[in-house]
Amino acid sequence: MAEIVTVDGARVGVLMGSASDWPVMEKTSQTLQKLEIPHECNVISAHRAPKRLEAYCATAEERGIQILICAAGGAAHLAGVAAALTHLPVLGCPMKAWSTEGLDSLLSMAQMPKGIPVGTLAVGGAGAVNAAIFAAEIMALSDKDVRSRVLAFRADQSAATFELPGAPGHS
Ligand code: RP5
């Protein structure tokens, strides 16, 4: 079994069911980088490598991981199983897989039975970016440096909303 990749100081663990999720989940990593949130990324399938998921979740908190972001497509059990294996907050990113435009993944994550929550984001890239921002916003409750960076990120985003490059009167 391939080694789990750990990063010293990582506060967010980004997990995905397959390397085929990475082109979307790279946006999570890039957004966490922008927000200067140390994180680590691993492929850990709940179906194909359940023991690897168990091992990851068993040591996540003691290594300093505060939030898990889990992406999967299809039956998309990864977030739910991770949420069952740790009390850390789990954010779910539904991936478009081979059918139903990702609705299967969305419902798999959102329809958790009561008692084990998964905070489910939108399907695809928007959810992948928002998961990173959401994780930072949770951390910002108890970390004023992260709070400052979240506020700066949002201010930059607001400013960029009004740009129309090339349009008359715009730069
Ligand atoms: C899920 O099945 C993965 O998260 C991925 O979204 C989907 C397809 O995986 P591959 O067959 O491309 O490995 O487990």
Residue 73: CB within 6 Å of ligand 1? yes
Q: Which helix (H) or strand (E) holds 43?
A: strand 39-43
Residue 162: its pLDDT value, please? 87
- In terms of Cβ atoms closer than 10 Å to its own Cβ (0-12, 13-18, 19+), residue 55 is middle
C-alpha count within 13 angstroms, C-beta hemisphere, residue 2: 9
Gap from CA of 170 to ligand 1 centroid (Å): 43
**Residue 17 to residues 43, 49, 72, 115, 147: CA-CA distances in angstroms?**
6, 9, 5, 23, 30
Residue 171: its pLDDT value, please? 75
Gap from CA of 24 to ligand 1 centroid (Å): 12
Residue 102: CB within 6 Å of ligand 1? no
Ligand 1 atom 12: residue of nearest CA: 20
14: phi then psi, degrees, rounded to nearest 5:
-100, 120
Ligand 1 atom 13: residue of nearest CA: 18
Residue 17: CB within 6 Å of ligand 1? yes
Tell me the best of 21, 43, 53, 103 to mutate to test the pocket of ligand 1, counting ligand atoms within 8 Å of each CB and taking the most: 21
- 55-68 pLDDT per residue, tens: 999 999 999 999 99
Low-confidence residues of the chain, pLDDT below 50? Answer: none
Residue 97: CB within 6 Å of ligand 1? yes
Residue 80: its pLDDT value, please? 98
What CA–CA distance (Å, rounded) separates 27 from 54? 25
Residue 2: its pLDDT value, please? 81
